[in-house]
Structure formats: C-alpha cells, structure tokens
Structure 1
Amino acid sequence: MGQAASKEDEMEKQSIYASYPGLEQQLDMVFACHDIHKQGKLPYKTIEMILRHFLMQCGFMEYVCRFVDENGKLDLKHIENYLTSKKLMYKLKCCGDSMLTVEEMKDLVITFLKKISDTYVDDQSKWMEKMKSSQEEQGKALEEAMSEYEKNILFNHAIKEQQLLQNNKKLDEWNETIENAYEVQQEVLRQFEARKREKMNISSEKNKDLLIAKDYIEKIKEAATDNRYDNSKCFVYPASSAPCGACTSAGAIMPHRRYKEPRHKKQAVLEEEEKQRKKKKKKKKKKKKRRKKKKKKKRRKKRRKKKEEKKRRKIKRKNSI
C-alpha cells in the first residue's frame, strides 16, 4: 500500500510540474539564493515567505488570502489532510522554526497547489449549484410573473371586449332611435306638404270658379253693350231681380267672325327682320376674314419652311464639296 501511495504521489508531482513548466528549477534557484551558508536547509519562516510570494506571483492572491491566519502567514491547518510525509508534519507541528530541505519545500509548494486546485473545483461545483438554484428560482419567478401577466392581460382583454360590446349595443340603439326620429320627422313633413297642397288645390279651384263666373258675366255684358250688331237684341236682367239669384239674359248674339288683318306685315316687324339680316351678313363677313387670315398664315409658314429647306440643302452641298 505504501509503495502504491508513493507512486501516486510521484505521479501527482509530475503532473503538477508538467502543468507549471520550470517550477522545479525555479524552486531550486530560489532555495540556493536564500541558502547563503550552503547548509542545504532554510528556516520555515523564510520558506513560508518564499511560498507566499510564489503563490501570489502565480496569480493565486484570492486563495492566499483565504489560507492565511491572523498574522498574515500561511496557515498549515488547511493542508493537514494533504501532507503524506509524517516526518514533515512532525517538523511543522512540533518545532516552531524548524529547518527544511529543498525537497520538503517542494512538497509544501505541491501540497498548497493541490489544495488550491481542489478548492477551485469545490468552488466551481458550489457556484454551479448556486447558479442552478438561482436559475430555478428565477425560472419559477418568471413563470409566476408570466402567469400573472397572462391572467391580467386576459382579464383586461375580456373587460375591453365587454366594453366594446356594450358600446356597440348603445350605438346601435342610438342609431335606431335617430332613424326612427328621422322617419317620423319625414312623415310629419310629408303630411304637412300634402295638407298644404290640398289647401292650394282647394283655393285654386275656388279661384277658377270665380274666374269662370267673372268671364261669363263680362261676356254677357259685352254682348249686351256691343254696338256693332244692330239687328241683334240682347238684354240682361240683374241677379237681384231674377229668381234664384242667377244672372239671366235674353236675345241672341249674332254669329260673327274675326276681321282679317292685312296680309302685309307691320313696319316694325319688317325693320326688325332687316336688322337681323344685316347682323347675319356682318357675321358672315367676319368669318370670311378670319378664314382668309388663317390661310395667309398657313401660306407664310409653308414659304418659310421651303426657304429653310433650301438653305439646309445648300449647306449640305457645300459640306459635301
């Protein structure tokens, strides 16, 4: 068992040396620099300072701060379980300022590096567990928040839909009332217009009757007072002396026809016609003048075009020559 353990320790040493190239040579050089009297041993205080400096130089400041005691020195209780050499443990525990060799210093360095790597792995696992737990808590919180959000959204959406339905119902009712009121108003206007027309028709009929009666009376008067008919005898009784209050007459009007007017037209009409003829003649003359002007313009344009074409031809001939 002891040989197997020593082999494992040797394998671990070699792996650490491989992960930190030049470590063994560096430790030998540092030990030789501090061993002024060439005794092959250094006190633990010096080795502890070298070890602290080396760990901080490697970038393990955080772990150095975790593994020091109240006085700021490396506390060996953190590496008790890692020390396999009983002799080294005895030296470190019993003797306060014990002298250590190069190999013992190397063992201390390797044990501290093992402790640092193990603590790094433990920290990673703890950090991952914390991350998982925090992610789970965040996921639960997010799920709860999303469920609450969805509930609120659905509730608000349902309320909005109900409000829209109520508003639409109210609008429909309002539109129906407006349409009904408009129809009633139109019906009232129609009835009013119909009554107005009836009154107008009644009044026009009354006026027609009165006009007919007046025309009839006037005709009778004219027939009675007309002096052109000597052989006719016509007389009229007043309505007051006639039975039933009706206007009566006697005698007959001689049939007659309207006197023919001369066929030649009146002078005013002839003058008016003459004026219209003159106007027509003037209009015709103006139209002719306009047409002549247009024709002249067209001719001028044609002449100009011909002249321009002749000039172009001459220029082409000159250029060709």
Structure 2
Amino acid sequence: MKIIDGHCDVLWKMYDNPRIDFYDSDTTELDVTYAKMMESNIKIQFFAIYLAESIRQPVFEHYLKYINIFYQKVLKPGLLTVIKNQADLVRVMSGDERGAILTLEGADAIQDNPLYTQTLYHLGVRMIGITWNYANWAADGILEPRKGGFSKKGKIFIKECNNLGILLDVSHLSVRSFWDLAEASTKPFVASHSNAKAVCDHPRNLDDDQLLAIIGQSGRIGMTFVPWFVGDKQNATIGGLLKHIEHICALGGEAHITIGSDFDGIDQWIPGLEHAGQFDQLAQHLSKYYKDDTIEGFLHGNWHRYLQQNLPTY
C-alpha cells in the first residue's frame, strides 16, 4: 500500500546537525529516512521548512539554507524527486521514484514581501502554514494570548498564495485566524497535522465546526502522530488515533482524512509508530474497522486526489 505523509521536520534536524545523512539507513537521528520511506512504500513525503524558536530573528536567508539542504542532501536523481506540479505528481505516482513536496511552516521571514513569496514558489515551495504557534506580521497562531486573526497584509498574502498556486495550511493558526483564512481563501486549504478536538482537547486540534469547514470546501485533515494531540501523551496508542479518524468520518470527512505524521518534530512517539518505516502497523489497525479502499484513501488516495486538483498545472 502506498503512503503520502503531509508533514515532517527532517530539514530542521538536518539544519541543526549538518552531519545527519538522509540516505544513511543506519542513522538513529531521523524518524524519516529514504530507507524508511522504502520500507513503508511512502511515495510522497512533505518536507517542512520550520525555523526553531532558537532563531530569534528569522530572515529570508534562513529559508534559503533549508531549501539548499533539501536540494543538496534530500533529493537524489532516480530515487527522490521534487514535486512542483501535476505532471511531476503523475510521474512519481506511476513510476519508481519517490516524491518530495517542499512546504513552509511559519511565514515570519517573508515579512510582507511579495518577491519573497514568489521566490519561494519558484524554488518549489507548494504549501505554506502562515504561523507556527505565535503571532507574526500576517496572523496570530494558536498560542498567541490575544487570540487575534489575520492582519490586512496577511489577508493580501492569502490572495497572493491563491494566485500563485501555493496551498495553504491552517495547522497552528488561532481560531480567529482559521476563520479569517476560511473566508478569504478561494482555494481549498488543509490542516496538515491536526487531530479532532472533540476526542483530545488540545489547542492544536480542531473543533467540529473547523473540521466541517475543511470538509465543506474539499480540503484535507492530516492525522498527526503527536502523542499529546492523540490523547494522554504517556499512554497514546494507535487505537487512540483511530478514534480521531472515526470522529471525522462521523462528520462526513472520510474522503478528507489524510496523514500528517509530524515525524522528526516530536521527541515522544506512539508505540508502533516510532518512525516512518512502521506505517504497516497503522494499516493493520485500520484493517480491523475499514474496507481496503477506505484505508487506501486515508493513507494516500485522499492526499493524491487533493494534489491532482490543486497543484499548479506547470
């Protein structure tokens, strides 16, 4: 069975430790490696550009350093290729290569500069989460105490991304920012790595109204493996993750559920989902409750269909 995973933080770890080798099958430094992608048949992995809080004053050059790591140390001809458009998607899904989609988690260093946004697009960034947990020039994140929404410049940024063909990600946005984006975006958006708040009452999870909004506009909801987004972080299980899937299915979201593991962005793991080579464990649990075609939708089909419909044509 094929897998498409909508979020990992490999680039952050490789930026922090330049000695890490994505193609070293023996490395213990990464949850996601090429060998583990092969082991689970991950056809497409999204790679996030996430600037850690230790970078106090993010500048555009930080993004460029991450992108340089992506092109120099992650992509490899014949093995792993960048996906920028629909033709790339078709080639990867029908061939032997695996695909990588470059995303941005936190638009802080764009600083309302359309040239920076366009440059990121030209360099292959195809999805942007506007904030991390706190506020920036564009919007408030989910942990920002004032609980604000998008700024005027931020709303213009939404339109710029829509026009360019950059997908938008609401994971990490404040509740008000979520609804501002839902109102302003003319394209279907995603929550790349968020679960259901009704099942686990964590600020980063989405309430039913938010889930229904994503479902209603043909977006996607990436089930994430962060233990404390699943349940009790000391006792999170794959069964607990399935409760989130069940809840979203009950809302009519079966065709909108995807995977957004957050591997390499966590330091605790769900037993049986400690790294990207273990997706068979998730598939086995799903097989107890869902038909094969539904499971295929969760694991790759729903992401695939979204990308077919929303990636740029060229």
Query: Could you say which TM-score interval applies, normalised by the shorter chain?
Result: under 0.3
Higher RCO (CA < 8 A, seq sep 6+): 2
Q: Which has the higher helix share?
A: 1
- State the TM-score, normalizing by the size of structure 2: 0.17
Q: Which has the higher strand share?
A: 2
